[in-house]
Structure 1
């Protein structure tokens, strides 16, 4: 029986740092905790319990440096040997590579009324981007940001939402920033000004146009469902 891929269970890259693994674990724990399915039938509870057990096991291994190193060695030894150069026919038969989030959102347009507050790269104003990164963009680079939502009255972007290819983070006034990894998610929705992730409240925005938010997160969710 093949060993379960703990990275795949948590939805992180094999080279993911510990902080990213911890974030992924929190996201998966929220997604699969059996208490969320207590009102369902026995099959749903059993499914959630099995998922949660796999998540807990993956986290226990990947958070421990020694266990993670042993797991990585096992995974490496289990990979099939390189069969050599592929033929052109074999290459042509392969499915096309998945789009990036940046590509998936390309051409998306917003009304931005009454205020221009939703931006998609490469059309993110640099001053706003630097303000957001300084406020809640720790460990992010300017080129990482795909989406910026500015939720400030005067347009300084120190509160709002940042989305990269791998994560979404938000900052509300007087609150700590929150981060979720996209690899753990299949749905981000906007209900008016309220943003929900997997049905759970994430942040409530006051400035951006609700129709723009719905349009954006409908496209983001479609991308997540294609890739996760």
Structure 2
């Protein structure tokens, strides 16, 4: 069945028709519509939803739609008078199972070379420019089972630069070791998310190593590529038949809210930041004897935003508000965990007509930042007048 049939529109359908058809099909097939259904029904609905998403991804973009239309013309069956395939042969071919699609290969090294070519770092080394002594030190200390020649990125977290503590990235996973700890490894298939908070690297929400001799900006730059790699792996493995255009949109698009994979990642990250902030604020709220963070309001916001990012007409604003929410929480978490007040305060600038939950969160974070500034000034004053 072709993409037009999946959405139930004419090959000459306008963009508006395609948008409307997509919304209708999404409502019809979304697995959340079958909360009480058996496993087979949910599986069927999920497969239908994947087809609908794939069709919409192709037909909603002028360039990919034009290429798809051209490919359909080339595949049209022969007209009357042309040679036809025997009916029994066609039936046998139709009954045969289709070969499983091969997932596109996603290379971390390719992404690193494309994104970081020409970049210079202080304690971060990219292949093929990793100093041999540091590579040997890491290989003897914490690169487990793959060999030094597999290391794509080496982050040296040692005091004197020996390379025996830190973090290494390969195509298979992430290797790490902190001073006084045992070496460990995480395979990429076991990694849901990687993030940088200050100089700490977190995997699946847990800190694995503190690269405190590295620049925060440099760490963020490298792990932005790692997150892109994880996103590409997820897209390739969950839907092998996704087109190259879909991958491009996931990785490079100026309109990321049009990609459901990217939207879901941002939703998950923002939600995780809110949960972390909630945990950090709980002791302070206990001392005050009142709740500062309106958790019911935030929970309702995420319910609404989770539905909105699946609606092409609402996805952009929902995506932006989720990014704002995550950024605000990052800023607040930095106030709790860093000794210095945060320097990057762009998240404090609000948008017009933002949800009440985001506006209230912004007020709370603004208060935390002001408190952090005041504490820092008080500390400086005490140090100045110490005798």
Q: Which bracket does the TM-score occupy, shorter chain normalised?
A: 0.5 to 0.7
Quote the Cα distance in structure 2 between the aligned partners of 1:139 and 1:121: 18
Corresponding position: 1:131 with 2:137: yes
Residues 125/81 of structure 1: CA separation in 2 closer, same or farther (3 Å cut) = farther
Alpha-carbon offset, residue 119 of structure 1:
1.1
- Kindly indicate whether structure 1 or structure 2 has the higher relative contact order, using CA contacts under 8 Å at least 6 residues apart: 1
- What is the root-mean-square deviation of aligned Cα atoms in Å? 2.8
Which residue of structure 2 lines up, in the alignment, with residue 172 of structure 1? 178
Which residue of structure 1 lines up, in the alignment, with residue 56 of structure 2? none
3-state SS of 1:105 partner: helix
Corresponding position: 1:157 with 2:163: yes
Which residue of structure 1 lines up, in the alignment, with residue 194 of structure 2? 188
Residues 135-150 of structure 1 correspond to what in structure 2 (within 5 A)? 135-150=141-156
Quote the Cα distance in structure 2 between the aligned partners of 1:146 and 1:216: 11
Instruction: Mark the runs of 5 or more structure 1 residues left unpaired by the alignment.
Output: 1-42, 51-79, 84-93
Instruction: Mark the runs of 5 or more structure 2 residues left unpaired by the alignment.
Output: 1-31, 40-95, 235-387
Corresponding position: 1:104 with 2:111: yes
Residues 209/110 of structure 1: CA separation in 2 closer, same or farther (3 Å cut) = farther
Which residue of structure 1 lines up, in the alignment, with residue 353 of structure 2? none
Residues 144, 175 of structure 2: 8 Å contact kept: no
Residues 155, 166 of structure 2: 8 Å contact kept: yes
Residues 225/134 of structure 1: CA separation in 2 closer, same or farther (3 Å cut) = same
Residue-by-residue CA offset, 1:79-138 (whole Å, 9 max, x unaligned): x8998xxxxxxxxxx8994331110100415453xxx21011111111110010011123
Residues 133, 140 of structure 1: 8 Å contact kept: no
Larger radius of gyration: 2
Select the structure that is richer in strand: 1
Select the structure that is richer in helix: 2
Residue-by-residue CA offset, 1:127-177 (whole Å, 9 max, x unaligned): 110010011123221221111000112211000001110110111001111
Moved more, 190-199 or 101-110: 101-110
3-state SS of 2:113 partner: coil
Which residue of structure 2 lines up, in the alignment, with residue 220 of structure 1? 226
